[in-house]
Chain A
Amino acid sequence: MIQGIFHYEFLQNAFLTGLMIGIIAPLLGVFVVVRRLSLIADALSHVTLAGIAASLLLERNVAMMAGVNPLYLGMVFSVGGSLFIEKLRGVYKHYQELAIPIILSSGIGLGVIFISLANGFNTDLFSYLFGSVSAVSRTDLWVVFTIGLLVILVIILLYKELFLLSFDEEHAKASGIAAKSIHFIFIVMVALVIAASMRIVGILLVSSLMTLPVAASIRLAKGFKQTIFLSVLFGEVSVLGGLFTAYYLDLAPGGTIVMIAVLILIFSIFYKKFLIRRGRESVERK
């Protein structure tokens, strides 16, 4: 693969897109996890599926849509879904998590209808569900890079506010920062990252790339910045390792990426236990 990268454009596309996704998904994932919104990523990825299916259906039936990257409609659906979640969270103030299954099932429901209308599964759809090494186009790469740079810029500029909002929402509101607008920007960013990541990891596994590296780094990190750093590191290792394995073993990269992330997570849990035991022993020795 290393040599292949210089020869084949599709490998460059997959490698560079993966590199970017390995940064932005865990980066945003840290805020998603600590705010206990992990399931929102799941709900939005299923809404994205509806968008992708709709786009594939239109491509088949409307001449104008032929050749339009399904990523765009996926993004529109994802962002739309995120806005609906926010609305629903306002409607069910005391059952805020209810918004997630509502949006998730609506996404799948709609997606299944579009898929049936388009005469069922094809390889294109399969690659959207589980990711692909070979199907990433130059356009995909540019879209992902634009979104990636935007997300990184927003996180850098709003870091203080996002930290405060995540750590203590009530305090954030009381201190008078624009909590609502910042939360809105945040949720739209999550929707965009999900749409962007699915090319590599696939819709069904996008949320794991936002949560698993974070789950591992929370066990080990000291402080928030370190949590972000380790999450991105674990995310990168999972994505690049996963792409590599998928290429050589001819597997869907979604599976290999997620399994590497799971291995890192298991390792981090045992490593932490080991650290605690060693800490205890050294205390006893004193």
Chain B
Amino acid sequence: MILIIKGDALIMQSIIEVKKLSYRYEKDVVLEDINITIPSGSFLAIVGPNGSGKSTLLKLILGLLKPQKGNILLFGKEINKFKDWQKIGYVSQKANSFNTGFPATVFEVVESGLTKKLGMFKFFKKEHAQKVIEALDAVGMKGFSNRNIGELSGGQQQRVFIARALVSEPSLLILDEPTVGVDAENVSNFYQMLGDLNKSRDITLLLVTHDIGTISDKVSHVACLNKHLHFHGETKEFEQHQADDMSRVYGHDVHIIAHNHEHGGVVK
């Protein structure tokens, strides 16, 4: 495990280390030579346009895809030897994987977040109900526990899914485009809540998103991705580079590739 020693000898463990990672779908290279280190307690946003490989990177980190080149360390362990998956909470893009007509209450949905932690052939008990209520409270949804999940608004559902991830008390929470389906006026509140979780519950957050504008004052670190990694560092630093980097990431694809090789040094 690599320890990063910051300014005043504050010791932090790195929760995720991505090293020289590349991935391709058949002929299309989606990720090339990615290096990212995520220190414990940070709140990292990975930003990039559609098709930039953000979701692929998440799937690799979650073990849903296998790295073709390079490797990933989770909590200091090689990903293929990593077993403590319950340390990682995951909130997927809701629209992809959720049937809104599903007849389950908010309570039941959040409770299902304990499935893996409990293990096979074990049953839910009172202490688990307590945890479910706490998790709902943390995302401001305590009053909704007996409602059917389909009756809630997109933003409320997303909060429930975060509660489901929180209930198993993960050290790392990964969110894939969590504000898809959240009304514009609630997006800021939503990020505020994430920021609070990051601080009060001491959870490392990794977030993939389009909207860098709204989050830059909430997150501690930013990584810009478009096949290559264009920037990875603290948010303050990012803001100074922003104009520069963003045009490079979102701008002309052809230039991106050319620029990146010169840019390699900054990435690491």
User: Which residues of A approach B to under 8 Å, CB–CB?
Assistant: 34, 36, 157-158, 160-161, 163-164, 166-178, 217-218, 221-227
Tell whether, in the assembled complex, residue A176 and residue B85 are in contact, meaning their CB atoms are under 8 Å apart: yes
Q: Are B104 and A175 in contact (CB under 8 A)?
A: no
Please state if B101 and A170 are interface contacts (CB–CB under 8 Å). Answer: no
Q: Please give the distance in Å from A223's CB to the nearest CB on chain B.
A: 4
Say whether B118 contacts A160, CB under 8 Å: yes
A176-B86, A218-B101 are known contacts; what are 11 more A-B pairs with Cβ within 8 Å?
A157-B121, A160-B112, A160-B114, A160-B118, A166-B102, A167-B99, A171-B164, A175-B90, A176-B85, A223-B107, A224-B102
A163 contacts B108, CB within 8 Å? yes
Secondary structure call for the A interface: helix
A213 CB, min distance to chain B CBs, angstroms: 13
For the complex of A and B, the 7 pairs showing the least CB-CB separation, nearest first, are A176-B85, A223-B105, A170-B97, A227-B103, A224-B104, A175-B116, A160-B115
Specify which chain B residues have a CB less than 8 angstroms from the CB of A218 in the assembled complex. 101, 103
A224 and B105 form a contact (CB under 8 A) = yes
Give the contacts of B132-155 with A (CB-CB under 8 A): 146, 148
Q: List chain B residues, Cβ under 8 A from A34.
A: 99, 102-103
Distance of A157 Cα from B99 Cα, bound (Å): 24
Residues of A within 8 A of B86 (CB): 175-176
A173 contact set on B, CB distance < 8 A: 64
Instruction: Scan residues 82-128 of chain B and give those whose CB is less than 8 A from a CB of chain A.
Output: 85-86, 90, 92, 96-99, 101-105, 107-109, 112-116, 118, 120-124
28 contacts between A and B (CB under 8 A): A36-B99, A160-B114, A160-B118, A160-B123, A161-B115, A163-B108, A163-B115, A167-B98, A167-B104, A167-B109, A169-B97, A171-B90, A171-B92, A171-B164, A173-B64, A174-B62, A174-B64, A174-B90, A175-B85, A175-B90, A176-B63, A176-B116, A177-B116, A222-B146, A223-B108, A223-B148, A224-B104, A225-B108
Whole-angstrom CA separation of A154 from B143 in the bound complex: 33
Whole-angstrom distance between the Cβ of A225 and the nearest chain B Cβ: 7
Q: Mark B40-68, 1 if CB is under 8 A from A, else 0.
A: 00000000000000000000001110000
Question: A161–B148 Cα gap in the complex (Å)?
Answer: 20
Q: How far is it, in angstroms, between the C-alpha of A221 and the C-alpha of B108 when the chains are bound?
A: 13
A62 to B251, CA, bound (A): 76
Q: A222-B146, A227-B103 are in contact. Are A164 and B112 (CB under 8 A)?
A: yes
Chain A residues in 8 Å Cβ range of B90: 171, 174-175
Q: Which residues of A contact B108 (CB under 8 A)?
A: 163, 223-225
Docked Cα-Cα span, A194 to B161, in Å, equals 35
> B103 — which chain A residues lie within 8 A by C-beta?
34, 217-218, 221-224, 226-227
Q: Which of A36, A158, A161 has the most CB of B within 10 A?
A: A161
Q: Is A164's CB under 8 angstroms from B121's CB?
A: no
Do B115 and A167 touch across chains, with their CB atoms under 8 A apart?
A: no
Instruction: Tell me whether B97 and A168 are in contact (CB under 8 A).
Output: yes
State whether A171 touches B97 (Cβ < 8 A).
Answer: yes
Question: Which of B62, B97, B146 gathers the greatest number of chain A CB atoms within 10 Å?
Answer: B97
Q: Separation in Å of the A265 CB from the closest CB of chain B? A: 15
Which residues does chain B contribute within 8 Å of A222, judged by CB atoms?
A: 103, 105, 146, 148
For B147, give the chain A residue with the smallest CB separation. Answer: A222
Q: In the complex, what distance in Å separates the CA atom of A161 from the CA atom of B115?
A: 6
Residue among B92, B104, B109 making CB contact with A174, cutoff 8 Å: B92
Within 8 Å CB of A177, what residues of B?
A: 115-116
Q: How far is the CA of A168 from the CA of B90 in the complex (A)?
A: 12
* A221–B105 alpha-carbon span in the complex (Å): 10
Assembled-state Cα–Cα distance A174/B118 (Å): 16
The CA-CA distance from A255 to B108 in the complex, in Å, is: 36
Contact B115 A175 (CB under 8 A): yes
B121 touches A223 (CB 8 A): no
User: In this complex, what residue of A is CB-closest to B149?
Assistant: A167
Residue of A nearest to B58 (CB): A174
Per a CB cutoff under 8 Å, which of A157, A160, A174 touches B124?
A: A160
Residues of B within 8 A of A171 (CB): 90, 92, 97, 164
B92/A170 in contact, CB under 8 A: yes
Point out the residues of chain A lying under 8 angstroms from B146, CB to CB.
Answer: 222-223
Q: Pick the contact of B104 from A158, A161, A223 — CB < 8 Å? A: A223
Contacting residues, chain B, for A161 (C-beta < 8 A): 115, 120
A158 touches B120 (CB 8 A): yes
Please give the distance in Å from A205's CB to the nearest CB on chain B: 24
- CB contacts (< 8 Å) of A160 on chain B: these are 112, 114-115, 118, 122-124
Residue of B nearest to A223 (CB): B105
* Interface members, chain B 169-198 (any A CB < 8 Å): none
